[in-house]
């Protein structure tokens, strides 16, 4: 293999079932769930459960779609890689930056909400 050739990207199974379970629980039960649920239930009543059910269904469908794409195209990368392959470089670039921006906002928001939850005990 010459120095210009790169080995094909392959995925290796390194996460155990407990790791995946904790990642899933952490993604579902964010700090905003505790704070936002009480205000939502107070203002909308039983309609909150309907909105949670619809949102949960959308999340399940998106994750199934991501699982299908990962099975069909087993390479490293996530949403940005799949968007690049399907729609071109600009779509992959845009998706990657929007994904990064989303997580930057989420980390900041969860830090603030976590601080609000802990301020009673500190």
pTM score: 0.54
Return the pLDDT at 4: 60
Does residue 98 carry a pLDDT above 60?
Answer: yes
How many other CB atoms sit within 10 Å of the CB of residue 81?
Answer: 18
Return the pLDDT at 14: 84
Written as one string, the DSSP assignment of 65-94 is HHHHHHHHS--S--HHHHHHHHH-HHHHHH
Return the pLDDT at 118: 78
Does residue 3 carry a pLDDT above 60?
Answer: no
Does residue 43 carry a pLDDT above 60?
Answer: yes
Which backbone phi and psi does 20 adopt, to 5 degrees? -65, -40
């Amino acid at each position: 293999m010459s120095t210009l050739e790169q080995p094909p990207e392959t995925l290796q199974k390194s996460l155990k079932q407990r790791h995946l379970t904790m990642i899933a629980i952490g993604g579902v039960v964010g700090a905003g769930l505790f704070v936002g649920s009480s205000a939502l239930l107070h203002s909308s009543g039983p309609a909150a459960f309907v909105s949670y059910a619809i949102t949960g269904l959308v999340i399940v469908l998106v994750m199934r779609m991501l699982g299908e794409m990962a099975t069909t195209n087993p390479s490293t990368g996530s949403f940005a890689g799949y968007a690049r392959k399907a729609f071109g470089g600009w779509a992959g670039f845009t998706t990657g930056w929007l994904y990064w921006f989303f997580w930057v906002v989420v980390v900041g928001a969860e830090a603030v909400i976590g601080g609000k939850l802990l301020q009673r005990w500190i």
